Amino acid sequence: MKNKILEDIDSSAVTNSKTSDNKISPETHTGELVISKTKVTFNGKEYSGNHSSFKDIREEVTSLTIKGFYFPNKKEFNDFINLRSVTIEDGIQPWYDAFNGCRSFTEFIVPETNPELCAIDGLLVNKDEMSLEMIASGKGPHVSIPEGIKILSYSSLDSCPNLVSIELPSTITYIDCLSHKENKKLKSFSVAENNPSYMAEDGVLFSKNKGILLAFPNDKGPEYTIPSGVAVIGEDAFSGCSKLQSLTIPSSMVRIEFDGLTGCVNLKEIHVQAKVCPTFHSEDEPFCGLHSATLYVPRGTKKLYEENEKWFFFTKIEEE
């Protein structure tokens, strides 16, 4: 895949945010910020302002170029409201939250000389593994990951808060776990039918045989019944699903991976149909903050759940 031909992005397709509080119009203004390890320039002149905040030019910057192995800090470019594109000349990958609030930012640009990264349809991709690393924060509401990308990295979606739906291609073959806690608007996953490794049902992402639930969209709640046959809730699968109020876990469930239920802070009831308590990672605290929730378990198993080192957490356990 290294010799894949990358097509240029049609600049007319780039959508920019227009709000009354913008001081300048990104369509008529060009503010080029170039940062390297030793030097910063703005519109071709050396920049002498506060390098750590860029407060005086934050709303004027429309393009950013990172080179010379300068490593962007977390949140360093937050709220550059007119930033449209980021060019990465060297093999440097920014933090996923480096561009929070950059609502006009829709495109990564990576020269062919970059040894580690490339840009496909404006998405930031690792060349060697063909791994999706970041989505520009202004993309959305729908993102279709291009064919040829093989891996979704852990935080590849967290950089895009406007995401409502995402489509995975047939070439995605590896998702270890997928953080999506920042995607508060996310309603659905979809997967190409001929993908050999993954599938989606009712907007929820599963392994191909539907044995593992990998990711539940944050904005899908408030009730969900995990399909029968699912044996594992994957790591971070329900991460940040604060709208979920009722969850039913089938009798086929045997394990819930680390942080599988973290962030479901508004769960009022969990219905577990398994007569043997599903297990957890030894260091996980899966029900922290759920003191008021009610756990419903199969008839005759209340004592089993009360004595379990993880499930005993619930003060209200009822048989049904």
Alpha-carbon gap, residue 21 to 12, rounded angstroms = 23
- At 24 the pLDDT is 53
User: What is the mean pLDDT for each group of 10 consecutive residues in the chain (320 residues)?
Assistant: 37 37 58 90 90 86 88 82 94 86 95 94 95 94 97 91 96 90 93 98 97 95 96 93 95 95 90 97 86 93 96 93
Give the pLDDT confidence score for residue 9 in this predicted structure.
Answer: 31
CATH 3.40.50.12660 describes domain 221-320: no
Residue carrying the six token digits 């008529």: 28
Instruction: Provide the pLDDT for residue 25.
Output: 56
Domain boundaries, the chain: 24-110, 221-320
pLDDT of residue 227: 98
pLDDT value, residue 244: 94
Looking at residue 203, its pLDDT comes to: 97
Cβ contact 198:177 at 8 Å:
no
